[in-house]
Amino acid sequence: MLKILFSPSENKRAEGKYDKKEIFGSNSAREEILKSYNEIVCSGNEEKIKNLFGLKKISDAAPYISDIFNSKQMCAIERYCGVAYKYLDFNSLEDSQKEFVKANTVIFSNLYGPILGGDLIANYKVKQGSSIGEIAPEKFYSDRFSYQLDLYLANCDILDLRAGYYDKFYKIKKPCITLKFLKDSKVVSHWAKAYRGLVLRAIAQNNITSTADFMRLEIENLAIKEIVKKTNITEIVYDIR
């Protein structure tokens, strides 16, 4: 089966329902970092809260100040609403395509670490690169979840659509595919997020279950320019039409 590794987004929807379910890996392994986050959020210490959230005004923090263990939940693929997720346009997919995305997308959250698209999470805010108390999320999850991810991905094909920062959370130890997008022969950086969302959408719509199938997939407005093979990485370079 093809598994797609994906980045989170800073923007999130605030709604949700009160529900509790186990999420990817071991919830107990997350307990330390979630408790540390919750202590800061509920502390009333405005400076610590602003630093954690990456905000200048405490008034902007209001949507995120709540006990994370008793907050409304929403599946991750719907919670996030940044550029990549807007172009994925999850809610317009057919039901079977939605289930595909929920089951086969692994998102690397700055708070929750690796989670499946269908896992339920609270509305939270952690500035990328910030520590949560004394805990550096990227090291925390690399140490505690790499072995679980190795086992989970052992018999799967991997398409890595993450931004480079999230390599710190998990180093892939087997062959995988990565993508690069060019416009007028220049590498697209910020708007690569949009094309990652469009690629994930095309995968779901076409029920792509292997890297071999993905290599044959035609994606609107993208044309393969070249394929660069390294040790364990096959990089597909696309021209944006």
Whole-number Å distance between alpha carbons of 130 and 165: 12
What's the pLDDT score for residue 139?
Answer: 97
Task: Say if CB 174 and CB 232 are below 8 A apart.
Answer: yes
Q: What is the pLDDT of residues 35-69, one digit of tens each?
A: 999 999 999 999 999 999 999 999 999 999 999 99
What mean pLDDT is predicted for residues 157-169?
97
Q: How confident is the model at residue 241 (pLDDT cuts 50, 70, 90)?
A: confident
Mode of pairing for the β-strands spanning 105-109 and 233-240: unpaired
Q: pLDDT at residue 141 above 80? A: yes
Whole-number Å distance between alpha carbons of 214 and 195: 15
In this structure, what DSSP letter does residue 12 have? B
Whole-number Å distance between alpha carbons of 234 and 212: 12
Instruction: Find where tokens 């021209």 sit.
Output: 239
Q: Hey, what are 28's tokens?
A: 């107990």
Residues 6+ apart with CB under 8 A from 94: none
Q: What is the pLDDT of residues 74-130, one digit of tens each?
A: 999 999 999 999 999 999 999 999 999 999 999 999 999 999 999 999 999 998 999
In this structure, what DSSP letter does residue 58 have? G
Task: Say if CB 232 and CB 172 are below 8 A apart.
Answer: yes
Whole-number Å distance between alpha carbons of 80 and 70: 19
Q: What is the pLDDT of residues 200-226, one digit of tens each?
A: 999 999 999 999 999 999 999 999 999
Apex 94 CA angle, 90 and 97, nearest 5: 70
3-state secondary structure of 224: strand
- If one counts the domains in the chain, the total is 1
Where in the sequence is the domain holding 158, given as residue range(s)? 2-240
Q: How confident is the model at residue 21 (pLDDT cuts 50, 70, 90)?
A: confident
What is the end-to-end Cα distance of the chain in Å, rounded? 30
Task: Say if CB 196 and CB 179 are below 8 A apart.
Answer: yes
Burial class (CB within 10 angstroms; exposed 0-12, middle 13-18, buried 19+) of 59 = exposed
